[in-house]
Amino acid sequence: MELYDRFNRRIDYLRISVTDRCNLRCSYCMPEAGVEAKAHRDILSYEEIERFALAAVAAGISKIRLTGGEPLVRKDAVALVKMLAAIPGLRDMSLTTNGLLLPEFGDDLKAAGLKRVNISIDSLDSDVYRRLTRGGDLNKALAGLKKALELGFEPVKVNAVLMRGVNDDPKEFVELIHEYPVHVRFIEYMPVGAWDPKLYVSIDEFKANLARYGAGDPVEGPPGAGPATYFAFAGALGTIGFISPISNHFCGSCNRLRLTPDGKVRPCLFSDDEFDIRPKVRDNVSKDETIEFIREILAAKPERHAAHEKEHLKRLMYQIGG
């Protein structure tokens, strides 16, 4: 079965945020004091997530990514990976993480059926990383990156939110792809969370900075490339890619839905429209009824986002899912 929205875009990708908690406090994402603990009833259980995922895959979803917060801080996250990876018809099971807990959980995640990891590392300068994450240790993130490579996850991607004065000089990331077979993706800073427009750098401006380190050649992206465009550099083991949701939106090819930790489906990251799926997964309705609800949700998916028209979203990124 295939799933389409009213603009004839095929929807085959579900991002599931399993928690709004994190072991870092990145300034653009999390409050400095952390988040208030939710009651158990206020977040989806693993069984409820599985129930929704079963319906979603039956409807046409073929790829699931677990996000957060930091998904690995939720107890028994490996068990959820195993539950979801076993769903018939699911082709790809991936994870976005800050990498800090990969040395501890990487082997079990691999055994549970996880295929790919994206590791969020916004700076390769230890002092900048510490300031940005409010106390994080870059060495621990890099240990997670090395563990992912050691385990043979393919591909291993590094996500870096592009910010002026933070990482708009890509020298250290260019050095990283010469040392390791990783795919670095620079993502435009978005008006979600603690938005400061002075930090915004367009991908086009950033490419001019990157050109100082050699002319990259356009190449086909690795598996799961999504909306990123990739460039290869002479002698490098990896690539550098760009995701430009603001300066050059890719709404025309958007293929995703997002599920928040508290059970709301968002058809678009930049819209405050949400649909509560808890009644479906908690009242034990039929899979067919849940599939029909997913189709109703898709009727609200906009043709393109309106990020330029909003001062900020009602919910911050850690509440939505990265």
Give per-residue burial for 167-193: e unless 16+ CB within 10 Å, then b. beebeebbebbeebebbbbbbbbbbbb
- Percentage of the chain beyond pLDDT 70 is 95
Query: The CATH number of 13-320 is which of 3.90.550.10, 3.30.70.1450, 3.20.20.70, 3.30.450.20?
Result: 3.20.20.70
Q: How many residues appear in the chain?
A: 322
**Mean pLDDT within 133-150:** 98
pLDDT class of 215 with cuts at 50, 70, 90 = low
Q: What is the 3-state secondary structure (H, E, C) of 128-155?
A: HHHHHHCCCCHHHHHHHHHHHHHHCCCC
pLDDT of residue 218: 82
- Percentage of the chain beyond pLDDT 90 is 68
Task: Return the closest-CA partner of residue 183 out of 140, 228, 217, 150.
Answer: 228
Residues 303 and 227: their CA atoms lie apart, in Å, by 16
Say if residue 163's pLDDT is above 70: yes
Q: How far is CA 319 from CA 101, 118, 264, 272, in A?
A: 21, 19, 10, 12
pLDDT of residue 299: 93
Q: Counting beta carbons within 10 angstroms of the beta carbon of residue 21, is it exposed (0 to 12), middle (13 to 18) or buried (19 or more)?
A: buried
Say if residue 307's pLDDT is above 70: no
Which pLDDT tens digit goes with each residue over 275-294?
A: 999 999 998 799 999 999 99
Task: Return the closest-CA partner of residue 176 out of 158, 149, 154.
Answer: 158
- Answer yes or no: are the C-beta atoms of 314 and 272 closer than 8 Å: yes
pLDDT of residue 308: 54
pLDDT of residue 22: 94
- Tokens 């929704």 belong to residue: 52
Residues 67 and 203: their CA atoms lie apart, in Å, by 24
State phi, psi for 53 to the nearest 5 degrees: -65, -40
Residues 108 and 105: their CA atoms lie apart, in Å, by 5
pLDDT of residue 297: 96
**Mean pLDDT within 66-86:** 97
